[in-house]
Amino acid sequence: MNIDLNVNGKPVSVEAEPLDRLLDIIRDKLELTGTKEGCGEGECGACTLFMNNKLVNSCLVPVMHLHNAEIVTIDGMRDFDFFRLISKSYEDNGAVQCGFCTPGFIMSTIELLRKSHGKSVTDDEIKDAFAGNICRCTGYDKIIKAVRQLLTMNITIPERFYE
Ligand code: FES
Ligand code: FES
């Protein structure tokens, strides 16, 4: 079957199998390999991306839900200034070790910064924002420290990434 969708601001048309998931389309058909596959069962958050402006686990989204969907992946974020600030804060705070979980954490960080703009955020709210992301090596303290630093920087995240 042929699926038309918009990925990182560009219209694309892909040939898909009925059992493909959004993650398969992104990584295998479009070769946007910044989005990772961990558990494949909606538990680890490594495959997190934006679909129609909402965070989703792309391993759980079946291909039949994708027609005309608007997808933004970590590979489509790299040219934004806010992305560079987030990456730098993660690096400066030692919040990345193997890096496998990092794309998912960064996507959840983007959503937290977008929702919390101008408001104070507690550590519990930060932890809630990462409820769907698992890191097996860094530990969460350094990630929370990186996010705390970002929350002091008054970073603006656009309501839509591509118009
Ligand atoms: S690979 Fe999708 S949640 Fe783990
Ligand atoms: S940095 Fe290795 S899983 Fe998080």
Using a 6 Å cutoff on CB, does residue 44 contact ligand 1? yes
pLDDT tier at 63, thresholds 50, 70, 90? very high
- Global confidence as pTM: 0.95
* 18 lies in the same domain as 57: yes
* 60 lies in the same domain as 115: no
- CA 16, distance to chain mean position in Å, is 23
Q: What is the CA radius of gyration of the chain?
A: 16
The residue whose two tokens read 């860094």 is: 138
* 140 lies in the same domain as 97: yes
Q: Which pLDDT score, from 0 to 100, does residue 138 have?
A: 82
pLDDT at 7 over 90: yes
Q: Which pLDDT score, from 0 to 100, does residue 51 have?
A: 98
**Which CATH number does the domain housing residue 54 bear?**
3.10.20.30
Share of the chain above pLDDT 70, in %: 100
Using a 6 Å cutoff on CB, does residue 46 contact ligand 1? yes
pLDDT tier at 47, thresholds 50, 70, 90? very high
Q: Which pLDDT score, from 0 to 100, does residue 133 have?
A: 97
In the predicted model, what is the mean pLDDT of the chain? 96
Question: What would the mean pLDDT of 117-130 be, rounded to a whole number?
Answer: 91
Q: Whose CA is nearest to atom 2 of ligand 2?
A: 98
Q: Which of 74, 105, 135 is the last residue of a domain?
A: 74
Q: Which of 30, 57, 74 is the last residue of a domain?
A: 74
pLDDT tier at 52, thresholds 50, 70, 90? very high
Phi, psi of 52 (to 5 degrees): 50, 45
* 45 lies in the same domain as 24: yes
| Full DSSP string of 83-133 | HHHHHHHHHHTT--SS-SSHHHHHHHHHHHHHHHTTS---HHHHHHHTTT-
Question: Alpha-carbon distance 110 to 156, whole Å?
Answer: 10
* 30 lies in the same domain as 63: yes
Q: How far is the CA of 118 from the centre of ligand 1 (A)?
A: 31
pLDDT at 144 over 80: yes
* 104 lies in the same domain as 60: no
Q: How far is the CA of 58 from the centre of ligand 1 (A)?
A: 7
Q: Whose CA is nearest to atom 4 of ligand 2?
A: 135
Using a 6 Å cutoff on CB, does residue 153 contact ligand 2? no
Q: Which pLDDT score, from 0 to 100, does residue 118 have?
A: 76
Number of domain units in the chain: 2
Using a 6 Å cutoff on CB, does residue 67 contact ligand 2? no
Residue 157 lies in a domain: no
Q: How many helices (H) and strands (E) does the chain have?
A: 5, 5
- CB of 113 within 8 A of CB of 155? yes
Residue 123 lies in a domain: yes
Residue 160 lies in a domain: no
* 125 lies in the same domain as 95: yes
Which residue range is the domain that position 35 belongs to? 2-74
